[in-house]
Amino acid sequence: MPFGIPGSDTSTSGGEFLGRINCDVRTGFWTITRRVQGADGLWRNETSAPIQNVTFLIDFGTLEVGYMKISNPPAFLLVPYGQPIPPQPQEMIEGRPGERPRRAFSPGFRVKVLSNATLGDQNPYYFSGNSKTLMNAVEALHQEFLVSPEAAAGKVPVVKTDGTNRVITKTPQGTNTFYAPRFVITQWVDRPAVLGERTVPPPAPDKSLASVSTAPAAAYARQPAPSTVDAAAIADDLPF
């Protein structure tokens, strides 16, 4: 049950009109969708060609969980992580041929990300999803975040994807293969102001870490710690 959302094993949140970065677990590739205003004054979506690996700052201080309906336009029923999740809407939609009708709203998440290198500007984007493959990968990253002393200090992680893990599922209709992104934390930075106010507080310090004995540095030679960068160092140009 990723992120503790019932139905994944009351307020509707539409969110800001931000661009978004998407991960297609059917291929393991990513796309970037930007909001572009045309000459007629109307805003439209432009989606990039698929890319394989990405790097971005992920702000779990804006993590929202709940339910979403992938439609045009999409609909969201999300709350900040840690708050009571509203009931799953009962709306049903027809399944594919041979499948039963299914819930229109499925468990999902949404979080803000930032990356000059991947997204091409210094604006926040949304990263969201409702596939179990993607949600499990993001939840694993979130669990790592929750026990990190840097997170307890209010810093935010910069992550990169290092390929994918293949996930094979069997259904009555046959076998499906999906590709879950492998996330690696590369550094921690002060939370940039452009992300807006936190809706989720930093996690409490993990007191169990204080009882861990200090080992010689050589024992960790193959696992270098992520670097830490101050906000002043990234004020003019994000290095990720």
Domain count, the chain: 1
Beta bridge pairs of residue 29:
24
135 three-class SS = helix
* Within a domain: 207: yes
**pLDDT tens-digit readout, 178-222:** 999 999 999 999 999 999 999 999 999 876 544 443 333 333 233
* Within a domain: 198: yes
**pLDDT tens-digit readout, 4-39:** 655 443 344 555 789 999 999 999 999 999 988 888
Minimal CA–CA distance to 129: which of 202, 52, 198, 66? 66
* Within a domain: 196: yes
Whether pTM > 0.75 for this model: the answer is: yes
Are residues 120 and 51 in contact, defined by beta-carbon separation less than 8 angstroms? no
Say how far apart CA 239 and CA 221 lie, in whole Å. Answer: 25
* Within a domain: 193: yes
Minimal CA–CA distance to 29: which of 43, 44, 49, 9? 49
* Within a domain: 177: yes
Tokens for 69, please give them: 């309906």
* Within a domain: 50: yes
**pLDDT tens-digit readout, 226-239:** 545 444 444 445 66
* Within a domain: 239: no
Per-residue confidence (pLDDT) for residue 204, from 0 to 100: 92
Beta strands 125-129 and 19-24 are: parallel
* Within a domain: 240: no
Q: Which domain holds residue 209?
A: 2-234
